[in-house]
Amino acid sequence: MFTLKPSFIPGCHEVLPRVMNDTRGSFVKVFHADAFRELGLSTEFTEEYYSHSRKDVIRGMHFQTPPADHIKMVYCVQGEVFDVVLDLRVGSPTYGQAATFTLSAEAGNYLYIPKGLAHGFCAVSETATLVYKVSTVYSPENDSGILWSSVKVDWPTETPILSERDARFNPFSEFESPFTYE
């Protein structure tokens, strides 16, 4: 039902579902509790939301600190995004490293992101809609981020559109991580 394509960051996987196409369009199953359990993935999602962005919008690099840290699953249902995860787990063999992915509605692929990773993306199509499933409810006092431009990534825009909040995050070099690798 699903193929896991592990990234070089431990616990972070690109998930490749079966995409069924016919003359009507396409159909994609993104979640199945039993199949996820068999793959060793969490099935406990408590909140779901989506963002709609125009080309060159960068959202991120976001995360929640303990005890409200969460597993996140993200997928693009319209358009295409350049997606980035950053390992913030002290003791991880990939601490401070970023992995990048292309997520698109056409491909139907998505990311399974473990606790302790920051997440962000850049919309590369004219518009893009990204859906997020998370394992904890949003907690304003635990909401945080890393400055997107301090992550060693070749972002696909020279004219980024950012929120004031995202533009004010501290750089990774000033970050003191509350996360540990297990």
Catalytic residues: 62, 132
What is the distance of C-alpha 109 from the center of its chain? 12
Here the tokens at position 52 are: 């709609």
Burial 142-168, CB ≥16 within 10 A → b, else e: bebbbbbebbebebbeeeeebeeebee
Residue with tokens 């992101």: 113
